Amino acid sequence: MTSDTIQTSRLRTHYVESGPEDGIPVVLLHGNLSTGRFYEHLFDGAPERYRLIAPDMRCFGDSEPLPLDPSRGLADWADDTQALIEALGIERPVHLAGWATGGAAIAAFALDREVASLTLIDPVSPYGYGGTHANGTPCFPDWAGTGGAAGAPEFVSRLANGDRSGEGAASPRTVLTTAYWSPDHQEDPERVEMLLTEVLKSVTGDDGYPGDSIASENWPGFAPGTRGILNALSGKHCNWTGIVDLDPKPPILWTHGSEDIVVADGSPWEVGTLGKLGAIPGCPGEDVFPPQPMVGQIRSVLQRYRDAGGRVEMEIFDGSGHFPPIDAAERWSAMFYAFLDSVE
């Protein structure tokens, strides 16, 4: 594995990679509050014919900390990925894998560009994060309950302060070890320290995580602002249902951890669930603002993709958390590379 930084037409991008320069290109996009190094443990066992590239996306890791435009959803991440591909001199369609926020980004990429395949790893719902009914319609017209103010203030503060302690549920270390993978998974302690360091590189504040917000007359009193990553993930701006209409349709692999608490039907991180539990008072009820059925929404859109003639493989990893490539690394890698081989 090598680590490098390259100036693209959009920003200075840091990335890790392995495999031959003329190998089949596979670009892996990380999720929110992480970096490309979350994939690096998969590189050693990769077939030699693949060139694996895992960049740090803007606002995260060691890439240039330029702000993104939330009104474009994850299109800035998609355009940054294209700029990296061009800067590296790759001229053929790439295989794309995207975890969580990265899943929405690779879908955005495919809406405008040819790709060899898409691998969605516990992706953000095709209707964004929070504030929707099962069919994707917003609970309120202004998308109240989504965006920057949905970030937990104590966690944001501790993230900004570089807190490495494990004290309390809101510490970055606790979130990493209980939400990113199954709490039953015992990750190598040295790797945990490295991954925590990567998480703590996240840009915080209005132009990073969580972003800004505006007041709303609708429950719970806030709506998406115009800056930062959580506003880009609001369904007001993030919607990747358009993949159903792609022609041609790239093959899709969807993998999801059954114990994922971040992207889930009734995620405890989502405002509708918090309202139902009474953690945010005044919830108008499930008929008005239900917990978001994220996994059901993903499955429904991918089934529509399949019904429209696309190839979709779906696999739920029993016992895995938000990132099966870590807590089910051997099995996930075998499935991923078998999928890529079947496309090639």
Domains and CATH numbers, the chain: 2-343 (3.40.50.1820)
Sign of CA dihedral 181, 184, 188, 192: positive
Bridge partner residues of 222 (DSSP): 215
Contacts for 246 with CB less than 8 Å, ≥ 6 apart: 110, 111, 310
Give yes or no for a contact between 230 and 211, defined as CB atoms under 8 angstroms apart: yes
Residue 265: burial class (beta carbons within 10 Å; 0-12, 13-18, 19+): middle
Q: According to the model, what pLDDT value does residue 252 have?
A: 98
CA–CA separation, 143 vs 219, rounded Å?
10
Find the distance separating the first CA and the last CA of the chain, reported in whole Å: 23
Q: 154 φ, ψ to 5°?
A: -65, -40
CA–CA separation, 319 vs 148, rounded Å?
30
Q: According to the model, what pLDDT value does residue 190 have?
A: 97
Q: According to the model, what pLDDT value does residue 223 have?
A: 98
Q: According to the model, what pLDDT value does residue 300 have?
A: 98
77 to 98, 101, 106, 202, 274: CA distances (angstroms) = 11, 10, 8, 15, 29
Cα R_g (the chain), whole angstroms: 19
CA–CA separation, 85 vs 209, rounded Å?
26
Helix axes 75-87, 101-112, angle to 10 degrees: 70
Per-residue pLDDT of the chain (344 residues; tens, 9 = 90+): 999 999 999 999 999 999 999 999 999 999 999 999 999 999 998 999 999 999 999 999 999 999 999 999 999 999 999 999 999 999 999 999 999 999 999 999 999 999 999 999 999 999 999 999 999 999 999 999 999 999 999 999 999 999 999 999 999 999 999 999 999 999 999 999 999 999 999 999 999 999 999 999 999 999 999 999 999 999 999 999 999 999 999 999 999 999 999 999 999 999 999 999 999 999 999 999 999 999 999 999 999 999 999 999 999 999 999 999 999 999 999 999 999 999 98
pTM here? Answer: 0.97
Give yes or no for a contact between 27 and 95, defined as CB atoms under 8 angstroms apart: yes
Q: According to the model, what pLDDT value does residue 305 have?
A: 98
Give yes or no for a contact between 316 and 115, defined as CB atoms under 8 angstroms apart: no
The residue type found at 21 is: E
DSSP, collapsed to helix, strand or coil, labels residue 340 as helix
Strand pairing class (209-210; 204-205):
parallel
Q: According to the model, what pLDDT value does residue 176 have?
A: 97
Q: How far is CA 319 from the centre of its chain?
A: 20
CA–CA separation, 46 vs 252, rounded Å?
19
